[in-house]
Chain A
Amino acid sequence: MSSIDVVVTGLGATTPLGADVASTWDGMLTGRSGVHALEEEWAGDLPVRIAASLAEDPTTHFDRVLLRRLDRSEQIALIAARQAWADAGFAPKDGGEGDSLDRERLAVTFGTGIGGALTLLAQDDILETRGPRKVSPFTIPMLMPNGPAAWVGLELGALAGVHSPASACATGAEAIAMGLDVIRSGRADVVVAGGTESVIAPLPIAGFAAMRALSTRNDEPERASRPWDKNRDGFVLGEGAGALVLERADHARARGARIYARLAGAGLSSDGFDIVQPHPDGQIRAMRLALENAGVSPSDVHHINAHATSTPVGDMLEVEAIRKAIGDHPVLTSTKSMTGHLLGAAGAVESIATVLAVHHGVVPPTLNLDDPDEALDLDVAAGKPRDLQINVAINNSFGFGGHNVALVFQRA
Protein backbone atom coordinates (compact mmCIF):
# COMPACT_ATOMS: atom_id res chain seq x y z
CA MET A 1 0.00 0.00 0.00
CA SER A 2 1.13 3.48 -0.80
CA SER A 3 0.83 6.38 1.62
CA ILE A 4 -0.27 8.60 -1.25
CA ASP A 5 -4.04 8.55 -1.66
CA VAL A 6 -5.37 8.98 -5.23
CA VAL A 7 -8.90 10.09 -6.12
CA VAL A 8 -10.97 10.58 -9.26
CA THR A 9 -12.02 14.21 -9.75
CA GLY A 10 -13.04 14.41 -13.41
CA LEU A 11 -14.78 12.21 -15.99
CA GLY A 12 -15.16 12.53 -19.75
CA ALA A 13 -16.41 10.22 -22.50
CA THR A 14 -17.86 9.95 -25.94
CA THR A 15 -19.42 6.55 -26.60
CA PRO A 16 -22.05 4.69 -28.64
CA LEU A 17 -24.55 5.65 -25.93
CA GLY A 18 -23.91 9.37 -25.81
CA ALA A 19 -21.60 12.28 -26.55
CA ASP A 20 -20.67 12.82 -22.90
CA VAL A 21 -20.63 11.09 -19.52
CA ALA A 22 -24.14 12.20 -18.51
CA SER A 23 -25.82 10.82 -21.65
CA THR A 24 -23.68 7.65 -21.56
CA TRP A 25 -24.57 7.02 -17.90
CA ASP A 26 -28.24 7.76 -18.61
CA GLY A 27 -28.12 5.29 -21.52
CA MET A 28 -26.62 2.64 -19.24
CA LEU A 29 -29.19 3.12 -16.49
CA THR A 30 -32.08 2.96 -18.96
CA GLY A 31 -30.54 -0.15 -20.53
CA ARG A 32 -30.19 1.24 -24.02
CA SER A 33 -28.21 -0.64 -26.69
CA GLY A 34 -25.66 1.32 -28.73
CA VAL A 35 -25.40 -1.44 -31.34
CA HIS A 36 -26.83 -0.93 -34.83
CA ALA A 37 -26.69 -2.36 -38.32
CA LEU A 38 -23.88 -1.08 -40.57
CA GLU A 39 -25.64 0.45 -43.56
CA GLU A 40 -22.44 1.41 -45.38
CA GLU A 41 -21.85 -0.17 -48.76
CA TRP A 42 -18.51 -1.62 -47.64
CA ALA A 43 -20.24 -3.68 -44.98
CA GLY A 44 -22.27 -5.63 -47.53
CA ASP A 45 -19.80 -8.47 -48.08
CA LEU A 46 -18.62 -8.80 -44.49
CA PRO A 47 -19.71 -11.70 -42.30
CA VAL A 48 -20.39 -9.14 -39.55
CA ARG A 49 -22.59 -6.13 -40.38
CA ILE A 50 -23.25 -4.68 -36.93
CA ALA A 51 -21.25 -2.36 -34.69
CA ALA A 52 -21.57 0.17 -31.89
CA SER A 53 -20.57 3.45 -33.52
CA LEU A 54 -20.28 6.78 -31.73
CA ALA A 55 -23.55 8.51 -30.85
CA GLU A 56 -22.14 11.84 -32.08
CA ASP A 57 -19.93 12.74 -35.04
CA PRO A 58 -16.71 13.95 -33.40
CA THR A 59 -15.63 16.15 -36.30
CA THR A 60 -17.98 18.96 -35.22
CA HIS A 61 -15.62 19.69 -32.32
CA PHE A 62 -12.62 20.66 -34.46
CA ASP A 63 -11.79 23.21 -37.12
CA ARG A 64 -10.87 22.10 -40.63
CA VAL A 65 -7.13 22.55 -40.16
CA LEU A 66 -6.98 20.43 -37.01
CA LEU A 67 -9.14 17.75 -38.64
CA ARG A 68 -6.39 17.29 -41.27
CA ARG A 69 -4.03 16.34 -38.43
CA LEU A 70 -6.18 14.16 -36.18
CA ASP A 71 -7.07 10.52 -36.62
CA ARG A 72 -10.61 9.80 -35.42
CA SER A 73 -9.18 7.99 -32.36
CA GLU A 74 -7.23 11.17 -31.54
CA GLN A 75 -10.29 13.37 -32.01
CA ILE A 76 -12.34 11.40 -29.51
CA ALA A 77 -9.45 11.16 -27.05
CA LEU A 78 -9.31 14.96 -27.08
CA ILE A 79 -13.09 15.27 -26.67
CA ALA A 80 -13.10 12.93 -23.66
CA ALA A 81 -10.04 14.58 -22.11
CA ARG A 82 -11.49 18.09 -22.52
CA GLN A 83 -14.68 16.99 -20.79
CA ALA A 84 -12.81 15.34 -17.92
CA TRP A 85 -10.57 18.37 -17.53
CA ALA A 86 -13.50 20.79 -17.32
CA ASP A 87 -15.41 18.37 -15.07
CA ALA A 88 -12.48 18.42 -12.64
CA GLY A 89 -12.74 22.20 -12.47
CA PHE A 90 -9.65 23.05 -14.46
CA ALA A 91 -9.70 25.71 -17.16
CA PRO A 92 -8.90 25.02 -20.81
CA LYS A 93 -5.41 25.97 -21.91
CA ASP A 94 -6.69 28.83 -24.05
CA GLY A 95 -9.43 29.84 -21.62
CA GLY A 96 -7.98 33.22 -20.69
CA GLU A 97 -6.69 33.28 -17.10
CA GLY A 98 -6.46 29.51 -16.96
CA ASP A 99 -5.91 27.66 -13.72
CA SER A 100 -3.06 27.59 -11.26
CA LEU A 101 -2.09 23.95 -11.81
CA ASP A 102 1.67 23.62 -12.26
CA ARG A 103 2.04 21.87 -15.63
CA GLU A 104 5.30 20.26 -14.45
CA ARG A 105 3.07 18.30 -12.07
CA LEU A 106 0.62 17.18 -14.78
CA ALA A 107 1.06 13.90 -16.69
CA VAL A 108 -0.98 11.98 -19.25
CA THR A 109 -1.42 8.19 -19.49
CA PHE A 110 -3.65 7.46 -22.46
CA GLY A 111 -3.67 4.47 -24.74
CA THR A 112 -5.25 2.83 -27.73
CA GLY A 113 -5.46 -0.85 -28.54
CA ILE A 114 -4.81 -0.57 -32.25
CA GLY A 115 -3.90 3.04 -33.08
CA GLY A 116 -4.75 5.10 -36.15
CA ALA A 117 -5.92 2.24 -38.34
CA LEU A 118 -8.45 4.43 -40.19
CA THR A 119 -5.65 6.78 -41.20
CA LEU A 120 -3.39 3.90 -42.24
CA LEU A 121 -6.13 2.43 -44.43
CA ALA A 122 -7.19 5.76 -45.95
CA GLN A 123 -3.63 6.84 -46.73
CA ASP A 124 -2.85 3.43 -48.23
CA ASP A 125 -5.80 4.00 -50.58
CA ILE A 126 -4.30 7.38 -51.54
CA LEU A 127 -0.88 5.81 -52.07
CA GLU A 128 -2.36 3.15 -54.35
CA THR A 129 -4.61 5.45 -56.38
CA ARG A 130 -2.75 8.79 -56.47
CA GLY A 131 0.87 8.01 -55.63
CA PRO A 132 3.31 8.69 -52.78
CA ARG A 133 3.44 12.46 -53.24
CA LYS A 134 -0.25 12.73 -52.27
CA VAL A 135 0.21 10.88 -48.98
CA SER A 136 -0.51 13.26 -46.10
CA PRO A 137 2.55 14.54 -44.20
CA PHE A 138 0.45 13.96 -41.06
CA THR A 139 0.09 10.21 -41.73
CA ILE A 140 2.68 9.14 -39.15
CA PRO A 141 1.54 11.34 -36.23
CA MET A 142 -2.03 10.28 -37.01
CA LEU A 143 -1.37 6.56 -36.93
CA MET A 144 1.23 6.31 -34.18
CA PRO A 145 -0.34 4.68 -31.12
CA ASN A 146 1.04 7.33 -28.76
CA GLY A 147 -0.72 10.00 -30.86
CA PRO A 148 -3.86 10.29 -28.70
CA ALA A 149 -1.80 10.65 -25.50
CA ALA A 150 0.48 13.16 -27.18
CA TRP A 151 -2.43 15.31 -28.37
CA VAL A 152 -4.03 15.29 -24.93
CA GLY A 153 -0.71 16.29 -23.41
CA LEU A 154 -0.26 19.08 -25.96
CA GLU A 155 -3.74 20.42 -25.44
CA LEU A 156 -3.47 20.52 -21.64
CA GLY A 157 0.20 21.53 -21.56
CA ALA A 158 1.29 18.46 -19.57
CA LEU A 159 5.02 18.54 -18.77
CA ALA A 160 5.43 15.64 -16.30
CA GLY A 161 5.36 12.97 -19.00
CA VAL A 162 3.00 11.55 -21.60
CA HIS A 163 2.68 7.76 -21.68
CA SER A 164 0.74 5.35 -23.85
CA PRO A 165 0.47 1.75 -22.76
CA ALA A 166 -0.74 -0.73 -25.35
CA SER A 167 -2.27 -3.95 -24.07
CA ALA A 168 -5.14 -4.55 -26.49
CA CYS A 169 -8.47 -4.61 -24.66
CA ALA A 170 -6.80 -3.95 -21.30
CA THR A 171 -5.21 -0.70 -22.53
CA GLY A 172 -7.64 1.78 -20.95
CA ALA A 173 -7.37 0.07 -17.58
CA GLU A 174 -3.59 -0.21 -17.83
CA ALA A 175 -3.42 3.53 -18.55
CA ILE A 176 -5.35 4.19 -15.34
CA ALA A 177 -3.09 1.81 -13.39
CA MET A 178 -0.08 3.62 -14.83
CA GLY A 179 -1.59 6.98 -13.84
CA LEU A 180 -1.97 5.69 -10.29
CA ASP A 181 1.70 4.68 -10.25
CA VAL A 182 2.80 8.06 -11.62
CA ILE A 183 1.04 9.90 -8.78
CA ARG A 184 2.11 7.43 -6.09
CA SER A 185 5.73 7.65 -7.19
CA GLY A 186 5.59 11.41 -6.75
CA ARG A 187 6.11 12.31 -10.41
CA ALA A 188 2.83 14.22 -10.76
CA ASP A 189 -0.09 15.55 -8.72
CA VAL A 190 -2.64 15.21 -11.53
CA VAL A 191 -2.87 12.65 -14.34
CA VAL A 192 -5.33 12.54 -17.22
CA ALA A 193 -5.75 8.82 -17.86
CA GLY A 194 -7.85 6.99 -20.39
CA GLY A 195 -8.26 5.06 -23.59
CA THR A 196 -9.55 5.55 -27.10
CA GLU A 197 -10.44 3.38 -30.06
CA SER A 198 -11.99 3.93 -33.47
CA VAL A 199 -11.50 1.10 -35.94
CA ILE A 200 -14.95 0.42 -37.38
CA ALA A 201 -13.81 -0.34 -40.93
CA PRO A 202 -13.75 -3.40 -43.19
CA LEU A 203 -10.25 -4.68 -42.39
CA PRO A 204 -10.48 -4.60 -38.57
CA ILE A 205 -13.95 -6.13 -38.73
CA ALA A 206 -12.76 -8.83 -41.14
CA GLY A 207 -9.74 -9.48 -38.90
CA PHE A 208 -11.76 -9.93 -35.71
CA ALA A 209 -14.35 -11.91 -37.67
CA ALA A 210 -11.60 -14.20 -38.98
CA MET A 211 -10.75 -14.98 -35.35
CA ARG A 212 -14.44 -15.90 -34.91
CA ALA A 213 -14.44 -13.34 -32.09
CA LEU A 214 -17.43 -11.27 -33.29
CA SER A 215 -21.14 -11.86 -32.99
CA THR A 216 -22.80 -12.54 -36.33
CA ARG A 217 -26.28 -11.75 -35.08
CA ASN A 218 -26.68 -9.33 -37.98
CA ASP A 219 -30.47 -9.36 -37.97
CA GLU A 220 -30.79 -8.38 -34.31
CA PRO A 221 -28.10 -5.78 -33.61
CA GLU A 222 -29.45 -4.71 -30.21
CA ARG A 223 -29.54 -8.31 -29.02
CA ALA A 224 -26.06 -9.23 -30.31
CA SER A 225 -24.01 -8.26 -27.24
CA ARG A 226 -25.27 -10.66 -24.58
CA PRO A 227 -22.63 -11.46 -21.95
CA TRP A 228 -23.20 -14.69 -19.98
CA ASP A 229 -26.28 -15.57 -22.02
CA LYS A 230 -26.45 -19.12 -23.36
CA ASN A 231 -26.88 -17.82 -26.91
CA ARG A 232 -23.92 -15.41 -26.91
CA ASP A 233 -21.79 -15.79 -30.01
CA GLY A 234 -19.05 -13.15 -29.79
CA PHE A 235 -18.47 -9.49 -29.06
CA VAL A 236 -19.71 -6.43 -30.94
CA LEU A 237 -17.06 -4.00 -32.11
CA GLY A 238 -17.58 -0.52 -30.64
CA GLU A 239 -15.81 2.82 -30.77
CA GLY A 240 -15.37 5.42 -28.08
CA ALA A 241 -13.07 7.18 -25.66
CA GLY A 242 -13.03 7.68 -21.92
CA ALA A 243 -10.89 9.91 -19.71
CA LEU A 244 -10.48 10.22 -15.95
CA VAL A 245 -8.72 12.93 -14.02
CA LEU A 246 -6.71 11.21 -11.28
CA GLU A 247 -5.41 13.42 -8.52
CA ARG A 248 -3.52 13.27 -5.24
CA ALA A 249 -6.25 13.35 -2.62
CA ASP A 250 -4.62 16.14 -0.59
CA HIS A 251 -4.20 18.19 -3.78
CA ALA A 252 -7.86 17.68 -4.68
CA ARG A 253 -9.07 18.58 -1.19
CA ALA A 254 -6.88 21.68 -1.05
CA ARG A 255 -8.56 23.08 -4.13
CA GLY A 256 -12.03 21.99 -3.04
CA ALA A 257 -12.54 19.59 -5.94
CA ARG A 258 -15.48 17.20 -6.13
CA ILE A 259 -14.28 13.66 -5.45
CA TYR A 260 -16.16 10.87 -7.23
CA ALA A 261 -14.29 7.97 -5.65
CA ARG A 262 -10.88 6.77 -4.56
CA LEU A 263 -8.72 4.85 -6.97
CA ALA A 264 -7.62 2.57 -4.17
CA GLY A 265 -5.43 0.16 -6.08
CA ALA A 266 -4.53 -1.75 -9.20
CA GLY A 267 -3.44 -5.29 -9.94
CA LEU A 268 -1.66 -6.32 -13.13
CA SER A 269 -0.63 -9.73 -14.34
CA SER A 270 0.23 -11.62 -17.49
CA ASP A 271 -0.90 -15.12 -18.36
CA GLY A 272 2.25 -16.54 -19.92
CA PHE A 273 -0.12 -18.94 -21.66
CA ASP A 274 -1.39 -18.03 -25.13
CA ILE A 275 -1.40 -15.05 -27.48
CA VAL A 276 -5.21 -14.82 -27.53
CA GLN A 277 -6.75 -17.48 -25.25
CA PRO A 278 -7.36 -16.18 -21.73
CA HIS A 279 -6.44 -18.10 -18.57
CA PRO A 280 -8.26 -17.84 -15.25
CA ASP A 281 -5.06 -17.97 -13.15
CA GLY A 282 -3.80 -14.69 -14.60
CA GLN A 283 -7.16 -13.05 -13.96
CA ILE A 284 -7.23 -14.38 -10.40
CA ARG A 285 -3.72 -13.03 -9.76
CA ALA A 286 -4.68 -9.60 -11.11
CA MET A 287 -7.73 -9.36 -8.84
CA ARG A 288 -5.86 -10.60 -5.76
CA LEU A 289 -2.97 -8.22 -6.38
CA ALA A 290 -5.44 -5.37 -6.83
CA LEU A 291 -7.09 -6.05 -3.47
CA GLU A 292 -3.70 -6.32 -1.79
CA ASN A 293 -2.58 -3.13 -3.46
CA ALA A 294 -5.73 -1.36 -2.26
CA GLY A 295 -5.50 -2.78 1.24
CA VAL A 296 -9.01 -4.23 1.16
CA SER A 297 -10.32 -7.77 1.51
CA PRO A 298 -12.55 -9.78 -0.83
CA SER A 299 -15.54 -9.32 1.48
CA ASP A 300 -15.33 -5.52 0.98
CA VAL A 301 -16.03 -5.91 -2.75
CA HIS A 302 -19.70 -5.26 -3.48
CA HIS A 303 -19.65 -4.80 -7.24
CA ILE A 304 -17.62 -5.88 -10.27
CA ASN A 305 -17.82 -4.31 -13.70
CA ALA A 306 -16.67 -7.43 -15.51
CA HIS A 307 -14.65 -7.68 -18.69
CA ALA A 308 -17.35 -10.07 -20.06
CA THR A 309 -17.35 -9.33 -23.76
CA SER A 310 -20.03 -11.84 -24.85
CA THR A 311 -17.64 -14.49 -26.17
CA PRO A 312 -18.41 -18.17 -25.53
CA VAL A 313 -15.13 -18.92 -23.70
CA GLY A 314 -14.14 -15.64 -22.05
CA ASP A 315 -17.31 -14.85 -20.14
CA MET A 316 -17.45 -18.03 -18.09
CA LEU A 317 -13.70 -18.13 -17.54
CA GLU A 318 -13.95 -14.76 -15.82
CA VAL A 319 -16.85 -15.96 -13.67
CA GLU A 320 -14.67 -18.82 -12.47
CA ALA A 321 -11.82 -16.40 -11.75
CA ILE A 322 -14.08 -14.00 -9.85
CA ARG A 323 -15.49 -16.79 -7.72
CA LYS A 324 -12.01 -17.95 -6.78
CA ALA A 325 -10.42 -14.53 -6.25
CA ILE A 326 -13.32 -12.63 -4.66
CA GLY A 327 -16.22 -14.98 -3.89
CA ASP A 328 -19.83 -15.24 -4.94
CA HIS A 329 -21.15 -12.12 -3.16
CA PRO A 330 -20.39 -9.19 -5.55
CA VAL A 331 -23.07 -7.92 -7.94
CA LEU A 332 -21.74 -8.19 -11.48
CA THR A 333 -22.55 -6.31 -14.62
CA SER A 334 -21.22 -6.06 -18.14
CA THR A 335 -21.84 -2.65 -19.64
CA LYS A 336 -20.45 -4.06 -22.91
CA SER A 337 -23.97 -5.43 -23.37
CA MET A 338 -24.87 -1.79 -24.20
CA THR A 339 -21.67 -0.15 -25.49
CA GLY A 340 -20.26 -3.08 -27.40
CA HIS A 341 -16.56 -3.76 -26.91
CA LEU A 342 -14.58 -0.51 -27.05
CA LEU A 343 -11.23 -2.36 -27.14
CA GLY A 344 -8.55 0.07 -25.93
CA ALA A 345 -11.21 2.41 -24.55
CA ALA A 346 -13.15 -0.32 -22.73
CA GLY A 347 -11.17 -0.14 -19.49
CA ALA A 348 -11.55 3.64 -19.36
CA VAL A 349 -15.28 3.85 -20.16
CA GLU A 350 -16.02 0.92 -17.84
CA SER A 351 -13.96 2.54 -15.09
CA ILE A 352 -16.18 5.59 -15.47
CA ALA A 353 -19.24 3.35 -15.12
CA THR A 354 -17.67 1.73 -12.04
CA VAL A 355 -16.82 5.10 -10.48
CA LEU A 356 -20.37 6.34 -11.05
CA ALA A 357 -21.82 3.10 -9.65
CA VAL A 358 -19.81 3.71 -6.47
CA HIS A 359 -20.67 7.41 -6.41
CA HIS A 360 -24.40 7.03 -7.00
CA GLY A 361 -24.96 3.65 -5.34
CA VAL A 362 -26.43 1.94 -8.38
CA VAL A 363 -25.18 -0.85 -10.64
CA PRO A 364 -26.03 -0.41 -14.34
CA PRO A 365 -27.75 -3.41 -15.91
CA THR A 366 -26.57 -6.15 -18.23
CA LEU A 367 -28.78 -6.35 -21.31
CA ASN A 368 -29.90 -9.49 -23.12
CA LEU A 369 -29.24 -11.93 -20.29
CA ASP A 370 -32.43 -13.75 -21.23
CA ASP A 371 -31.24 -17.30 -20.75
CA PRO A 372 -28.24 -17.36 -18.41
CA ASP A 373 -25.42 -19.83 -19.06
CA GLU A 374 -25.88 -22.84 -16.79
CA ALA A 375 -22.45 -22.25 -15.25
CA LEU A 376 -23.35 -18.68 -14.24
CA ASP A 377 -23.67 -18.96 -10.47
CA LEU A 378 -22.93 -15.33 -9.61
CA ASP A 379 -25.36 -12.45 -9.09
CA VAL A 380 -25.74 -10.27 -12.21
CA ALA A 381 -27.77 -7.05 -12.37
CA ALA A 382 -29.73 -8.33 -15.37
CA GLY A 383 -32.20 -6.22 -17.32
CA LYS A 384 -32.53 -3.32 -14.91
CA PRO A 385 -30.24 -1.28 -12.67
CA ARG A 386 -29.70 -2.42 -9.08
CA ASP A 387 -29.56 0.02 -6.16
CA LEU A 388 -26.57 -0.97 -4.05
CA GLN A 389 -24.49 0.79 -1.43
CA ILE A 390 -21.00 0.08 -2.71
CA ASN A 391 -17.90 0.35 -0.57
CA VAL A 392 -15.46 -1.25 -2.98
CA ALA A 393 -15.89 -2.05 -6.68
CA ILE A 394 -13.58 -3.72 -9.18
CA ASN A 395 -13.28 -3.08 -12.89
CA ASN A 396 -11.73 -5.99 -14.81
CA SER A 397 -10.05 -5.67 -18.20
CA PHE A 398 -8.25 -8.42 -20.08
CA GLY A 399 -6.48 -8.14 -23.41
CA PHE A 400 -5.19 -10.29 -26.25
CA GLY A 401 -1.60 -11.04 -25.38
CA GLY A 402 -2.55 -12.23 -21.90
CA HIS A 403 -2.76 -8.83 -20.18
CA ASN A 404 -4.92 -8.69 -17.06
CA VAL A 405 -5.76 -5.50 -15.16
CA ALA A 406 -8.05 -5.15 -12.16
CA LEU A 407 -8.75 -1.68 -10.77
CA VAL A 408 -10.18 -1.05 -7.31
CA PHE A 409 -12.43 1.94 -6.74
CA GLN A 410 -13.65 2.81 -3.26
CA ARG A 411 -16.25 5.18 -1.91
CA ALA A 412 -14.53 8.44 -0.94
Chain B
Amino acid sequence: MTREEIQNGLSEILEEVAGVNPDDVSEEKSFTEDLEVDSLSMVEVVVAAEEKFGVKIPDDAVQDLRTVGDAITFIEKAAA
Protein backbone atom coordinates (compact mmCIF):
# COMPACT_ATOMS: atom_id res chain seq x y z
CA MET B 1 0.00 0.00 0.00
CA THR B 2 1.28 3.44 -0.90
CA ARG B 3 0.85 6.42 1.41
CA GLU B 4 -1.62 7.82 -1.10
CA GLU B 5 -3.73 4.67 -1.02
CA ILE B 6 -3.80 4.75 2.78
CA GLN B 7 -4.76 8.43 2.76
CA ASN B 8 -7.60 7.74 0.32
CA GLY B 9 -8.84 4.92 2.55
CA LEU B 10 -8.70 7.16 5.63
CA SER B 11 -10.56 9.90 3.74
CA GLU B 12 -13.39 7.49 2.98
CA ILE B 13 -13.62 6.49 6.65
CA LEU B 14 -13.49 10.10 7.85
CA GLU B 15 -16.27 11.06 5.46
CA GLU B 16 -18.42 8.12 6.51
CA VAL B 17 -18.13 8.37 10.29
CA ALA B 18 -17.38 12.04 10.89
CA GLY B 19 -18.66 13.86 7.80
CA VAL B 20 -15.23 15.18 6.85
CA ASN B 21 -14.96 16.46 3.27
CA PRO B 22 -12.29 14.33 1.51
CA ASP B 23 -10.88 17.50 -0.09
CA ASP B 24 -9.95 18.73 3.39
CA VAL B 25 -7.85 15.65 4.20
CA SER B 26 -4.07 15.96 3.84
CA GLU B 27 -1.06 14.61 5.73
CA GLU B 28 -0.40 17.67 7.89
CA LYS B 29 -4.01 18.00 9.11
CA SER B 30 -4.71 17.31 12.79
CA PHE B 31 -7.69 15.03 13.42
CA THR B 32 -9.07 16.99 16.34
CA GLU B 33 -8.08 20.58 15.58
CA ASP B 34 -8.26 20.79 11.77
CA LEU B 35 -10.77 18.09 10.90
CA GLU B 36 -12.83 18.48 14.11
CA VAL B 37 -13.06 14.74 14.76
CA ASP B 38 -14.19 14.36 18.39
CA SER B 39 -12.91 11.67 20.73
CA LEU B 40 -15.78 9.21 20.19
CA SER B 41 -15.68 9.60 16.41
CA MET B 42 -11.92 9.00 16.58
CA VAL B 43 -12.70 5.62 18.19
CA GLU B 44 -14.91 4.82 15.21
CA VAL B 45 -12.21 5.94 12.77
CA VAL B 46 -9.64 3.68 14.44
CA VAL B 47 -11.90 0.62 14.47
CA ALA B 48 -12.87 1.18 10.83
CA ALA B 49 -9.20 1.66 9.85
CA GLU B 50 -8.21 -1.59 11.57
CA GLU B 51 -10.81 -3.40 9.50
CA LYS B 52 -10.01 -1.66 6.24
CA PHE B 53 -6.23 -2.04 6.41
CA GLY B 54 -6.07 -5.32 8.34
CA VAL B 55 -3.91 -3.87 11.14
CA LYS B 56 -4.11 -3.52 14.93
CA ILE B 57 -4.06 0.00 16.32
CA PRO B 58 -3.77 -0.29 20.13
CA ASP B 59 -5.49 2.37 22.25
CA ASP B 60 -2.17 3.62 23.65
CA ALA B 61 -0.92 4.21 20.10
CA VAL B 62 -3.96 6.28 19.16
CA GLN B 63 -2.98 9.23 21.35
CA ASP B 64 0.21 9.64 19.29
CA LEU B 65 -1.71 9.80 16.02
CA ARG B 66 -2.18 13.57 15.96
CA THR B 67 -2.21 14.13 12.22
CA VAL B 68 -3.39 12.19 9.19
CA GLY B 69 0.30 11.71 8.30
CA ASP B 70 0.95 10.13 11.73
CA ALA B 71 -1.85 7.64 11.07
CA ILE B 72 -0.60 6.87 7.55
CA THR B 73 2.91 6.18 8.90
CA PHE B 74 1.55 3.93 11.65
CA ILE B 75 -0.62 1.93 9.24
CA GLU B 76 2.22 1.71 6.69
CA LYS B 77 4.53 0.18 9.31
CA ALA B 78 1.89 -2.04 10.87
CA ALA B 79 0.90 -3.45 7.50
CA ALA B 80 4.48 -4.05 6.40
The chain A residues found within 8 Å of chain B, CB to CB, are 63-65, 68, 133-134, 136-138
Do the beta carbons of A136 and B17 come within 8 Å of each other? no
Query: Interface SS of chain A: helix, strand, loop or mixed?
Result: loop
Task: Tell whether B76 is near chain A: CB-to-CB under 8 Å.
Answer: no
Do the beta carbons of B47 and A64 come within 8 Å of each other? no
Residue from A63, A134, A137 in contact with B40 in the complex, judged by beta carbons closer than 8 Å? A137
What are 18 A-B contacts with C-beta separation under 8 Å? A63-B19, A64-B16, A64-B19, A65-B17, A65-B18, A65-B19, A65-B41, A68-B17, A68-B44, A133-B47, A133-B50, A134-B47, A136-B44, A137-B40, A137-B41, A137-B43, A137-B44, A138-B40
CA of A65 to CA of B44, assembled, Å: 11
Proximity string of chain B (8-32) to chain A, C-beta cutoff 8 Å, 1 when within and 0 when not: 0000000011110000000000000
Task: Give chain A residues whose Cβ lies under 8 Å from the Cβ of B40.
Answer: 137-138
- Across the two chains, which residue of chain B brings its CB closest to A135? B47
Most chain B C-beta atoms within 10 Å of own C-beta, residue among A133, A136, A137, A138? A137
CA of A133 to CA of B43, assembled, Å: 10
Task: Give chain B residues whose Cβ lies under 8 Å from the Cβ of A63.
Answer: 19
CA of A147 to CA of B4, assembled, Å: 40
CA of A36 to CA of B75, assembled, Å: 51
Proximity string of chain B (41-61) to chain A, C-beta cutoff 8 Å, 1 when within and 0 when not: 101100100100000000000
The chain B residues found within 8 Å of chain A, CB to CB, are 16-19, 40-41, 43-44, 47, 50
Task: Give chain A residues whose Cβ lies under 8 Å from the Cβ of B50.
Answer: 133
A258 shortest CB reach to chain B, Å? 36
A69 shortest CB reach to chain B, Å? 8
A139 shortest CB reach to chain B, Å? 10
B36 shortest CB reach to chain A, Å? 11
Task: Give chain B residues whose Cβ lies under 8 Å from the Cβ of A136.
Answer: 44
- Across the two chains, which residue of chain A brings its CB closest to B20? A65
B67 shortest CB reach to chain A, Å? 21
In the A-B complex, the 4 residue pairs with the closest CB atoms? A65-B19, A137-B43, A137-B40, A138-B40
Task: Give chain A residues whose Cβ lies under 8 Å from the Cβ of B41.
Answer: 65, 137
Excluding A63-B19, A68-B17, A137-B43, 15 further A-B contacts by CB distance (< 8 Å) are: A64-B16, A64-B19, A65-B17, A65-B18, A65-B19, A65-B41, A68-B44, A133-B47, A133-B50, A134-B47, A136-B44, A137-B40, A137-B41, A137-B44, A138-B40
Task: Give chain B residues whose Cβ lies under 8 Å from the Cβ of A138.
Answer: 40
CA of A138 to CA of B38, assembled, Å: 12
CA of A136 to CA of B44, assembled, Å: 7
CA of A229 to CA of B37, assembled, Å: 56
- Across the two chains, which residue of chain B brings its CB closest to A138? B40
CA of A380 to CA of B43, assembled, Å: 56
Task: Give chain A residues whose Cβ lies under 8 Å from the Cβ of B18.
Answer: 65
- Across the two chains, which residue of chain B brings its CB closest to A140? B40
Task: Give chain A residues whose Cβ lies under 8 Å from the Cβ of B19.
Answer: 63-65
- Across the two chains, which residue of chain B brings its CB closest to A66? B19
Task: Give chain B residues whose Cβ lies under 8 Å from the Cβ of A133.
Answer: 47, 50
CA of A271 to CA of B18, assembled, Å: 48
Task: Give chain A residues whose Cβ lies under 8 Å from the Cβ of B47.
Answer: 133-134
CA of A343 to CA of B41, assembled, Å: 32
B59 shortest CB reach to chain A, Å? 10
CA of A63 to CA of B41, assembled, Å: 15
CA of A298 to CA of B36, assembled, Å: 58
CA of A64 to CA of B50, assembled, Å: 21
Task: Give chain A residues whose Cβ lies under 8 Å from the Cβ of B44.
Answer: 68, 136-137
- Across the two chains, which residue of chain A brings its CB closest to B16? A64
